[in-house]
Structure 1
């Protein structure tokens, strides 16, 4: 192995010097042998010439040089003896020829071996792998072109150097362990890190073989090195990508898994282990699904999984999965197959997504929808959503029930009109037109004419919204107010009858005052009639005086008739008829009916009537009932007062839209305990009272769109006030 460098050097040496030296030696030997009388075997020195020529490693030139040396030997022998051939000279000539021939044969054999060796070296240089030979002291004895390319040092620079010092070798294990394995097995394979001449670190895969001589003594190590730097970089990159992929898969908010074509789980991500699930659960080959799926959901899940495996269709299932705490959570199980080119399923990839919150929300929504449906059914309130500009609609189940349509009917405005009472069609169309132009609120009450001939009363209220999808949308409630409307009508009739009874009762209480008011004009009529007769029965009738008496009779008769007419109006059962009413006039009339009570109880009436008189839109008789009731309560409140009894009646404007009427007395006032209950039904402070008067007053006032209240001024007494909407033309329209 140590001859490899000399062979390489000989192969690369310049041949001109040996050839010139050989020619010079041949010339000197020939001259000495041919021209000098030396009786020695000078021709033997031609061996040097043959060796010098053979060092050029050129077989043909060596053969030529050998024959040339033979020729020169014979020529020199002839020239030096001139035909006298002695046995000794011939013997010396023969020895020289034998030496030249032997040297030539050996040189040619050595050339053949060197040529073979050089060809082998050239073959080694053709290898892409780096081939390095070093002795047992790590000294480099062979360095091929692959090693030059890999490490950057030439053979001349590397030969004789320590391989590990030259390349700064980093070992995966200790060098002693590697050497021990070489000596034990004659082989070693592993990966090393080395430094190139340019300082770049390379990773090499090394295969080393130990060469021993004939005696078994370790002599050298032959190592082949492959540059695996890029492969290691790719492996590191792939490893990083795999780690990143694994981290990504582990970070996915779901239980990622894969299985073989037959459905056996082969991979699960960290989400499974976080939930206390491993592939080893139940033993090798165990059905993990049966261990983690809720028993109630397992049969359906397994059936769906087996069907997907058998058909190759996508796998979809919703089941409860057991967590590490033992609790079950709803999850969506899904998987898709991976197929080869022939369509055969290689494996399945799936993910289990936690839908517990969504499931809870769905269940809550279902409960909410059920509650809403029950609430709508109980309250008889349906929902209607209308989207513009296409006027598409959505009805709730209760809306279908109110309209008495089946669920197959498409909600439309025409379907609503088909159920609308003919008299209310214009009202409904008007509300729809308001919605089309974008009114903020739609509020309409109308009737439905049902197929069986019945009539329903409904109230629709909707407000405007702006959905993200564009356009405008109204979300509204359709309320079936049939029973409420009928009940209100019945209540109104009952209230009217109660008010009528109350008026009759009130007239009974005012019987003395009424009798006094009627008696006065009748007595005046009788007196004036007697006077008129006397004026006419005189010898000379006094026609002027008689005319004045008759005029007074007509006036008092009219007054009596008006009193009786007002009494009959209060006593008559009739519907409420709103009309423009001058408040000052109705107050004066009511006070006239109460004049006897005022005189009897020594009540001083003070007037503070606004001029011109405010006009309110109300029913005249019902307003008179309110006024008389308030005046009667004030008189009764002052019955036990020993001091002055003053009653102040005033009118005025409460605000631009309402007229104010106030009645203030100097009675005992209103206690704090009774202030909030004065207008409540059946509440009274009188021992024989029914507690209906002020309650009916409140109902009448509120039915006219007004408000009534009571106060207790600091100066004493009670102050009762009510407001009514002023006449703005509505009474004339009615």
Structure 2
């Protein structure tokens, strides 16, 4: 039968037949109940079978009250939040028991029919299954509670105007404002102009193209806010139309004030420990440094005595004749001053200072600094430095502290070694974006057991020392984005390797 024939058949029915036909064909469940507390079914439409699994005959005469979920049975009496009243009709959302034993969510609009004296005759209800809709709303509410309670900053941003249309509690706290006194915020207000025009716009464009962006961009909070925050993630949300254009962005940020303070405190502690380690190193090198300074001082004393003796004996008759002696004295004085300058620079307590410098040059300077100690241990320096300067950008004093520590370890490795040839090999090379520095000796090596503990704090294989040198050295190198490790075969020597980012 065609649609036209169906419509003609319906129009040919009398009003009673037509009403009955529409009720039977409706996807909503239409039912009649007694106006008693049992709420017994008097009649129900065939939709009950699709909705609740019962046949019409099974439902007629059943106490409808018994099928309510225990928590929802008295919604109407208690006037729960799920109940609405309008023009003599109640609408209630509740859980109702299916024939299979589970509960579904129904939305029922009911009206009580009364006789001429106002006495209730029956209750007529129209019910529909809203399980999917209700569960979705519950999930949305749960998600909203999670978002609101999150310690992360969560914001929704209009993709055209850049206005923040929603901010959770954590965002209000970080910005120093209150939800009760709303202030209109725009995304560009939260960043420095250059940062917003470059980094933030790039993040939004990336999210629009790929769905999400992850990274770290520091925010500029309102003046007077002694806090630090950054955005970590941007999510682009699209409409469901054919064009699938971006409707808004979810922006997730984080207040990193406590983390930044902890990092600053850790950096201060690291600088303090590094300074103490340098002082200890100089203390251990004291005799060698004293000997190295005594050499130019003794030479100056000898040149002065020789010149005075020649003057007293009358062998110098003009100022020009003493010029050569003065030149020699000046050279030795500069040498002594340079030794003191290097020592003062090494032990000076400084803040972390990034600067560009040549690793090859630093290796030579440190070798010169430790020359006397090397001579006292009958060792010699051999350089295998790759051409060029091998530039890095780092804290020069800290990197040189690591080199001093590694080179002194290589010198002292020969203390209990009977070998005559005692080289300390210092090498550099560049590979891709890193510079590699190696300090090697040909002593007896280190056992695997000691090698595994070498960089642990307070571990030392020496009879003196605190065992902090290598631990601090590794901390310094890792703070510069590099790595420090050791290799040894326990027989023919040990190699310490540094990998650190090259300039650029």
Taking structure 2 as the reference length, the TM-score comes to: 0.77
Partner of 2:234: 463
Bigger Cα displacement from structure 2, 262-271 vs 521-530: 262-271
Task: Determine the C-alpha separation between the residues in 2 that align with 1:303 and 1:633.
Answer: 83
Higher RCO (CA < 8 A, seq sep 6+): 2
Could you tell me how far apart the structure 1 residues matched to 2:85 and 2:477 are?
80
Counterpart check, 1:660 vs 2:431 = no
Question: After TM superposition, what 4+ stretches of structure 1 lie above 6 angstroms from structure 2?
Answer: 241-249, 260-263, 278-283, 302-305, 307-310, 336-339, 542-545
Contact 1:668 1:716 in 2 (8 A): yes
Q: Label 1:349 to 1:296 Cα distance change in 2 as closer, same or farther (>3 A).
A: closer
Question: 1:650 is matched with which residue: 423, 427, 430?
Answer: 427
Match of 1:519 in 2: 294
Contact 1:531 1:546 in 2 (8 A): no
Aligned partner of 2:170 in structure 1 is 398
Matched residue SS, 1:561: helix
Partner of 1:320: 95
Task: Quote the residue 2:280 is aligned against.
Answer: 505
Counterparts of 1:282 and 1:472, CA distance in 2:
48
Taking the aligned partners of 1:684 and 1:460, their CA distance within structure 2 comes to 44
1:676, CA displacement in angstroms?
Answer: 5.6
Q: CA deviation at 1:476?
A: 2.9
Compute the displacement of 1:397 (Å). 2.2
1:604 and 1:476 map into 2 onto residues whose CA distance is 60
How many pairs does the alignment contain?
465
Aligned-pair CA distance for 1:268: 4.0
| Deviation (angstroms), 1:295 | 3.4
Distance 1:474 1:301, change over 3 A: same
The equivalent of 1:723 in structure 2 is: 499
Per the alignment, in what secondary structure is the counterpart of residue 525 of structure 1?
helix
Residue 105 of structure 2 is aligned with which of 318, 331, 343?
331
**2:487 corresponds to:** 711
Paired residues of 1:660 and 1:722 also in contact (CA < 8 A): yes
Superposed CA offset, 1:191-230 (max 9, x none): xxxxxxxxxxxxxxxxxxxxxxxxxxxxxxxxxxxxxxxx
**Structure 1 residue 556: Cα displacement:** 1.0
- Change beyond 3 A, Cα 1:534–1:727: farther
Cα contact 1:329–1:354 (8 A) shared by 2: no
In 2, are the aligned partners of 1:337 and 1:347 still within 8 Å (CA)?
A: yes
Measure, in 1, the Cα distance between the counterparts of 2:55 and 2:173: 55
2:308, 2:129 → 1: CA distance? 115
- Measure, in 1, the Cα distance between the counterparts of 2:126 and 2:444: 88
SS at match of 1:465: strand
Alignment partners' CA distance in 2, 1:705 and 1:273: 66
Q: 1:554, CA displacement in angstroms?
A: 0.7
**TM-aligned CA distance change 1:261 to 1:329, over 3 Å:** closer
- In structure 2, the partner of 1:493 is 268
What residue in structure 2 maps to residue 732 of structure 1?
A: none
Structure 2: distance between partners of 1:601 and 1:485: 45
- The Cα of 1:521 is off from its aligned counterpart by 1.0
Whether 1:577 and 2:350 are equivalent positions in the alignment is no
Of 403, 408, 412, the match for 2:185: 412
Any unmatched runs of 5+ in structure 1?
1-233, 340-344, 729-734
Aligned partners of 2:130 and 2:34: how far apart in 1?
Answer: 25
Rounded to whole Å, the distance in 2 between the matches of 1:246 and 1:570 is: 95
Q: Quick check: 1:713–1:719 contact (8 Å CA) kept in 2?
A: no
Which residue of the partner structure matches residue 258 of structure 1? 31
Shift of 1:373: 4.4
Deviation at 1:663, TM superposition (A): 0.6
Paired with 1:570 and 1:367, the residues of 2 have a C-alpha distance of 59
Normalising by structure 1, report the TM-score: 0.55
In 1, Cα distance between equivalents of 2:205 and 2:286: 61
Native 8 Å contact 2:480 2:500 kept in 1: yes
Deviation, 1:650, is 1.0
Match of 1:445 among 192, 198, 218: 218
Q: Distance in 1 between matches of 2:112 and 2:362?
A: 96
| Structure 2: stretches of 5+ with no match in the other structure | 1-8, 114-120, 208-212
Distance change >3 Å, CA 449–CA 474, structure 1 → 2 = same
C-alpha distance in 1 between matches for 2:354 and 2:53: 81
Pick the structure with more helix per residue: 1
Q: Which secondary structure does the structure 2 equivalent of 1:608 belong to?
A: strand
CA RMSD of aligned residues (A): 4.2
